[in-house]
Amino acid sequence: MSRKQKTPADLIEMCRVKPGKKLSLAEHDPGWAGDRDLPKAKRKAIAQQLLADGVAALAESQELLYAADTWSLLVIFQAMDAAGKDSTIKHVMSGVNPQGCQVFSFKHPSAEDLDHNFLWRCMKSLPERGRIGIFNRSYYEEVLIVKVHPQLIEAQRLPVGKPDTRFWQGRYDDINAFEHHLARNGTAIVKFFLNVSPAEQRERFLDRLRDPEKHWKYSAKDLDERQYWDQYMQAYEECIAATSTDWAPWYVVPADRKWVTRALVAEVLVATIRDLKLRWPEPAPAEREAIEAARRQLEAEAAGQQPA
């Protein structure tokens, strides 16, 4: 890394996956933690300040998003287990008004879900104008875990044979078309892959197993899925490369240091809303007259006078 301090724009560009480019996750260091010429304590302090500034800016941006009522923001988090999705959402969105934000976690599909197309259950949870919607996992599971475990396709009872290259490309095409439709109709989309290393995942699993208060976070399935690490990385590379677009970009965010992850996610979200170029609503002439009359009345009351 250069000795020159990276700007927030540099950091965002570092993580963004350019459309049409082949992705190699080996080129994205999950342990990246800033300029190594600086002491770790200094780097951590810088990241924490970026996060604090980002949380404050995001709170202001969310208020403008709500007031403008022309756009919504869909934020998608995908990652391997223990990459820090929950804690990132908790810290980055800590300053946002709960009335303007909603979080959905998508687990194993229900029988009703399986009776519909693979986008259906997420479509029901899309944010309305003025709100931020967060998907903790999403329809991307249908080209990730389902691709690693293709036997899951059988439960969907699709009129297709064995899933092949054309099948998966069809799903990527469906996702791109769906997200393009959303973007054209006022939903900005930003997607994060929290890139954790297998070594760091192992330490976080051990932390859960050693601490009785964290046992509730552990599932035997976690270790089972860890065995498929290489297959998952290949699925992520293919998926992200195929679905990172100008209207719905992917960001590969280093996740071995949570303070890095949170700061970067906050920076991307603030920049995404800023790029919408939102404006505060302006009242019509009649509304301005009513506002002025109300102001005069209340100021007269405050001064102990009778309104004219």
pLDDT in tens, 215-266: 998 888 888 999 999 999 999 999 999 999 999 999 999 999 999 999 999 9
Cβ(106)–Cβ(138) under 8 Å?
Answer: yes
pTM here is 0.91
CA end-to-end distance (rounded Å), the chain: 68
DSSP letter assigned to residue 19:
T
Is pLDDT at 117 greater than 70 in this prediction?
Answer: yes
pLDDT (mean) for 179-198: 98
CA angle 200, 201, 202 (to 5 degrees): 90
User: Cα separations (Å) of 269 from 99, 126, 179, 236, 298?
Assistant: 18, 17, 17, 22, 39
Is pLDDT at 123 greater than 80 in this prediction?
Answer: yes
Is pLDDT at 1 greater than 50 in this prediction?
Answer: no
Q: Which amino acid is at 77?
A: F
% the chain with pLDDT above 90: 80
Mean pLDDT of all residues belonging to the chain? 93
- 80 — pLDDT class (breaks 50, 70, 90): very high
* d(C-alpha 162, C-alpha 169), whole Å: 14
57 Cβ partners below 8 Å, 6+ apart?
266, 270
* d(C-alpha 281, C-alpha 45), whole Å: 37
